[in-house]
Structure 1
């Protein structure tokens, strides 16, 4: 998981980064609202969350950030319990309010939970055509049979699944999986994995296509034609085909 930390104080930032690393959370540290504004002008969806630290007027910043977050959870960090500040933060668009010092594993769990709710995926699984997609780290399944994915394939698949119905750029996919753009050409790397994913998903679902290439923009995972998306609760019912329209008699 990769997150953004907005923290002007370098000592506090270093301590928070160290705490997060212990739970395998990668942190991009920004020291000013201006830096965050530049990043917010790009794609924020490949970040698991945005932590807002000790900045001046955090609620005003959160209100502006909320417009560009694209569903990425925003969490305000505070040194003390402050109900009034928490209320203002939630009203401004924050998804959570966490008092320092925090447990990194708990923070990670909070971010994942908030992300699922923000994207309308509070359940741990849902159906997309013949495909069952999980949000607990498992590979996808078809009729109870696992589709074995490599580590990179799984990371890309999960990122696309979290953005079902939305176009995501190759850059954001690469950054979400690798954490940087150091390995060039990144577009060719992603293309290779997308091709592998398409083949595995198609082979397992009798030809259903889930990943669309959107020219000059990136990729989009969506339901195949003639199926409906169905969230899975305890019963785990399958997605049903859409009823075909009957043609009127001539």
Structure 2
């Protein structure tokens, strides 16, 4: 999963980038509001972490600008202001959540996890990956118009990979977002579910769901959403 960090304080930015990369996230980071707005509008991210006080363009301006441009990516806004009126004002610019500086990294991880579970405001209910058709609303999968039956966890895992097509999804991210960390990290539960999914969707040669040794799994860019 990919996160954009817009933060001018180099120490804070480095701590966030290093910590989140260690959690398996892919990170882009910029130091001013102009570049942050540009990156947010031209790239696809799962989350944007946005400081409010920035050079060139304030965070609330960036948030309003990207929302006006149609960007629906969740935004976590950071600010030192703790009064209720400031929170309301900043959230009304289009931010999805708000954190007061200073904050703990553990709290940040929890907020990120919660935001990444929220559905996008505008989202296709049906996507096609190769000859598979996935309906995220009805939780149905069809291959060549024939229904494929997956368990709830299998569907959640496959849907997570599809939402991040072309990107590596780490075992840690799968454990958090599919199992909510309620599995033994040393078990082969994820591998067993991947194996079952491959069998059911007819992917014995691992052409659709690809293993990335030491990193996780991904669906190849060749099988793009249509």
What TM-score do the two structures reach when normalised by structure 1?
0.50
- For the pair shown, which has the larger CA radius of gyration, 1 or 2? 1
1:129 matched to 2:130: no
Task: Report the counterpart of residue 2 of structure 1 in structure 2.
Answer: 2
Which 4+ residue blocks in structure 1 deviate beyond 6 angstroms?
196-199
- Where do residues 1-250 of structure 1 align in structure 2 (5 Å cutoff)? 1-44=1-44, 47-53=45-51, 54-55=53-54, 56-68=57-69, 70-119=71-120, 127-129=138-140, 142=149, 144=151, 157-160=159-162, 162=163, 173-174=165-166, 176-177=167-168, 200-203=199-202, 218-220=224-226
Number of residue pairs aligned between Structure 1 and Structure 2: 163
Is the 1:52–1:74 Cα contact (8 Å) retained in structure 2? yes
* Shift in alpha-carbon separation, 1:109–1:126, aligned structure 2, 3 A: farther
Contact map agreement 1:71 1:115 (CA 8 A) in 2? no
Q: Distance in 2 between matches of 1:15 and 1:5?
A: 11
Q: 1:217 to 1:157 in 2, by over 3 A?
A: closer
For the 8 Å contact 1:157–1:197, the answer to whether it is kept is no
Contact map agreement 1:4 1:51 (CA 8 A) in 2 = yes
User: Could you say what secondary structure the match of 1:173 adopts?
Assistant: coil
Cα displacement (A) at 1:198: 9.4
Q: Any gaps of 5 or more consecutive residues in structure 2?
A: 124-135, 143-147, 171-194, 204-221
8 Å CA contact 2:37–2:65 kept in 1: the answer is: no
User: Is the alpha carbon distance of 1:21 and 1:202 closer, same or farther for their aligned partners in structure 2, counting shifts above 3 Å?
Assistant: closer
* Conservation of the 8 A alpha-carbon contact between 2:48 and 2:74: yes
**What is the CA RMSD across the aligned residues, in angstroms?**
4.1
TM-score by length of 2: 0.55
Q: Deviations over 1:95-127 (max 9, x none)?
A: 000112323343233233233334379xxx964
Q: Which range moved further: 94-103 or 30-39?
A: 30-39
Between the aligned partners of 1:6 and 1:129, the Cα distance in structure 2 is 37
Moved more, 106-115 or 49-58: 106-115
